[in-house]
Amino acid sequence: MERNTQFVGQSTAFLDSVERASRAAPMGRPVLVIGERGTGKELIAERLHQLSRRWQEPLVTLNCAALPETLIEAELFGHEQGAFTGATKARAGRFEEADKGTLFLDELATLSMGAQERLLRAVEYGEVTRIGSSRPIKVDVRIVAATNEDLPRLAEEGRFRADLLDRLSFEVITLPPLRVREGDIRVLSDYFGRRMAAELHWDAWPGFSNRAMAALEDYQWPGNVRELRNVVERAVYRWGAGDEPVDHVVFDPFDSPWKPAPLPRAASDAAPAAERTAPAPATSLDQVTDLKAAVDAHEKAILETALGRHRYNQRQTAKALGLSYDQLRHAMKKHGLSERG
């Protein structure tokens, strides 16, 4: 299946971000795209390029986190023959490849300080110098950069150059996470479901059952749209037939009663994790002086452990504990756990 390059959604927060990208596209100035993983930062970069005056020129992409620090500068700016061990011939960098077009730098915050300094010069003066050369090369490149980090905070901490941040932030487009895009989970689930049903050659798309859709809408989606697409496509493919609505959704494909047990760790390593995740030790039975308080404390510990195990998905937790959804909600409210979900 082709990679999805369409913008699908109807929430105001989402449409505002797309509109801002559309307005910034013709300007030709640097743009920062901020957002959690899976929110569609690369799609915004493509939109900025396609709606710009550079749309017929190259769109060159570089994931700054995919290369070791020792190679990132050579990849960005190129190198001459013999500039370093393994440089058997001269090579143009991504800036030269993107000349007259757009350079998309993903995971910008992972750039080393040295690469940031050279990037600043390229942005400010429009020229790059290959490693091993003293001759600068003029380039005309529009930079779009993306990150899921808080760049102003990194600049305050001295981990990102403040002057580079100033140069790159002509416009900043912050993409909303899926969990705040009201109504979009239903729209996206239907969209990806239809695409998967077509790939499987189903005669029609039966949709999701009310129970399955409720589970999709209750989930927090830490991986955002990318995770939603995987979950929906997996649910449709596993359902196997298109004669009735899809009624089963698996959020964690690794969840299995036969999955490998974690490797034993040294006591010093295991202790902090145990302190973070284990419920408070039960009171010794011969020390109980208030039965109701002891029962409540034990019930709360069970709820906290089960909610944590199921990543606060309330419907999955209720099923695991043999409770109805309403019973679980009542128990959470009783113990003051409602807000933690």
What is residue 89's DSSP assignment? S
Which two three-digit tokens encode residue 332? 């959470």
Between 88 and 199, name the one with better pLDDT. 199
Asked if pLDDT for residue 6 goes beyond 60, the answer is: yes
Written as six digits, the tokens of 208 are 């999701």
**What pLDDT sits at residue 341?**
44
Q: Is the model's pLDDT at 340 over the cut of 70?
A: no
For CA atoms 31, 34, 40, 41, the dihedral sign is: positive
2 pLDDT above the threshold of 50: no
Looking at residue 341, the DSSP 8-state letter turns out to be -
- The whole-model pTM stands at 0.73
Average pLDDT in the chain = 87
Phi, psi of 173 (to 5 degrees): -110, 115
Domains 12-176 and 278-340 share a fold: no
- Asked if 317 and 305 touch (Cβ cutoff 8 Å), the reply is no
Question: Per residue in 138-175, pLDDT tens?
Answer: 999 999 999 999 999 999 999 999 999 999 999 999 99
Checking if the pLDDT of 26 tops 90, the result is yes
What is the pLDDT at residue 271? 46
Sketch the domain layout of the chain as residue ranges: 12-176, 182-239, 278-340
Task: State the Cα–Cα distance between residues 146 and 17, nearest whole angstrom.
Answer: 14
CATH topology of domain 182-239: Helicase, Ruva Protein; domain 3 (1.10.8)
Q: Which of 210, 211, 190, 194 minimizes the C-alpha distance to 202?
A: 194
pLDDT tens digits along 260-279: 877 776 555 544 443 444 44
**CATH top-level class of 278-340:** mainly alpha
> In the CATH hierarchy, which fold is given to the domain comprising 12-176?
Rossmann fold (3.40.50)
- Cβ neighbours of residue 247 under 8 Å, at least 6 residues apart? 208, 209, 211, 212, 239
Map 224-257 to HEC letters.
Answer: HHHHHHHHHHHHHHHHCCCCCCECCCCCCCCCCC
Closest to 77 in 3D by CA, of 30, 20, 141:
141
Give pLDDT, residue 109: 95
Overall average pLDDT of the 211-229 stretch: 95
**Which range has the worst mean pLDDT, 171-180, 181-190, 270-279, 304-313?**
270-279
Tokens of 227: 């995770």
127 — pLDDT class (breaks 50, 70, 90): very high
CA distance 169 to 201: 46
pLDDT higher than 70, residue 181 = yes
pLDDT level of residue 1 (50, 70, 90 thresholds): very low
pLDDT confidence band for 283 (50 / 70 / 90) = low
